[in-house]
Amino acid sequence: MEALAEQLRALASTNWVYAVLFVVAMAEAIVITSFAISGTIGFVAVGALVAHGLLHPMWSGLAIYAGTLAGDLISFLLAGALQRVGFVATALGRLAPLREPLAAAPARFIIAGHFTPYIRALLPVLAAGVVPLRTYIAIELVAALLGTAFFLSIGYLGAHMLAHIAVETVLAGVGVVAGLMLVALWIKAQRPFCPRAPGNGAMRRPAMRASWFFIWYLPWQAVRWIECHLRGTPSRRLRRSLASSFPDIRAGDILVVRLHAPAPWGRWAHSAIATSASTFAHGFASEVEAHSLEALPVRYAIAHLRVRCNDVTADQAAQFAQACIGMPVSIRARRSDTHRFSCASLVTHAYRKAGLELVDEGIARIVPDDLFTSPAVELVRIVHTERVSPHTRRYVFEARREG
């Protein structure tokens, strides 16, 4: 340990160590390399080294601050230049629900983002194209300064509080934490906690899923709370209010979701089928899933549709949809496919199995608009769960009924 301490002192005594700090901070800020470098933990370690007198406080802070600014600006300009490329534009399109509130309140998002490791590196990419360059630079100058000062202060104050512990022991602990984070990211990339494809076995052991929960989810819970507060995102009380806005929903009813702007396939972007008075099934992400009504999206309008049929047919359709849970999802699924579904083809497949065709048989790929305009359904209500305050311009979430 004493030899390690001597090596650290020799390294810190050279001026080029600040160039290394600049490069590390820049690499941590650039989205391409950010997820391979635990820069935040490194900044805390730098603060500890400053407290032990091994690094100059002003030059250390300036090197990290300048590196962060350079890396964020590179990510912003790179994303702006590449968003005309097909697959990049597609990826950014999927992130539209995140980019809209960022464009409405860039200062809050960018400043808060500098206190959220790894996620912070995505903010320049999300801001490119929706936040003007001058505005982004002005906010970034303040946000990078606050973030740098915050993490250096944590290390500095922590080192003073733990002054009786040798510096090499503190750095060894930091290295262990950084290693565990990298291992957790690698495990996440292997996707061992997701359901396997049909026919390849069942879910992995519950103990492994529980381990992932404690390794990855819990440390980020505090960050999510801060983000929810800054964004004014919906509370659990609002989610219960949203669920209570559908008091007469029953098995077989259809729910369609409308975005703020039309999706590529129509105004109504997503659909689901109620499997009971409190749950629904839908084709989302990679497989058909089941959720409670409280899991409905709270930033859009939701239309409640009822199929013109008897209760027996509706119950049978709900049972068929329930039986499809776990099957793969693809937006390219055709109406004739029975091994994969889109959100809309799942609904029509369930009713087809129950003996009722909801949309014209000439439509090869069914979209939610086809369900909303189908003569076989009737509109019960439309529930709006978001409006914009005319005073603060912030999102106000409320379950208000229409129709």
Q: What single-letter DSSP state applies at residue 195?
A: P
Q: Which two tokens stand for residue 232?
A: 């004014």
What is each CA distance from 102 to 88, 113, 139, 142, in whole angstroms?
Answer: 18, 11, 12, 17
Q: How many angstroms separate the CA atoms of 171 and 189, rounded?
A: 27
Strands of the sheet containing 266-274, edge to edge, are 287-292, 279-284, 266-274, 254-263, 301-307, 377-384, 400-402
Would you state the pLDDT for residue 82? 76
Instruction: Name the CATH topology of 238-402.
Output: endopeptidase fold (from Nostoc punctiforme) (3.90.1720)
Do 85 and 37 form a contact (C-beta atoms < 8 A)? Answer: no
Tens digits of residue pLDDT in 281-324? 998 878 999 999 988 887 778 999 999 999 999 999 999 999 99
Name the one residue in this structure whose structure tokens are 């733990």. Answer: 162
Domain extents in the chain: 2-190, 238-402
Q: Who's near 95: CB < 8 A, 6+ residues apart? A: 126
pTM over 0.85: no
| Residue 215 identity (one-letter amino acid) | I
Residues of the chain with pLDDT under 70: 1-15, 34-42, 52, 83-101, 117-119, 159-171, 174, 181-235, 260-264, 386-398, 400-403
| H, E, C per residue of 231-274 | HCCCCHHHHHHHHHCCCCCCCCCEEEEEEEEEECCEEEEEEEEE
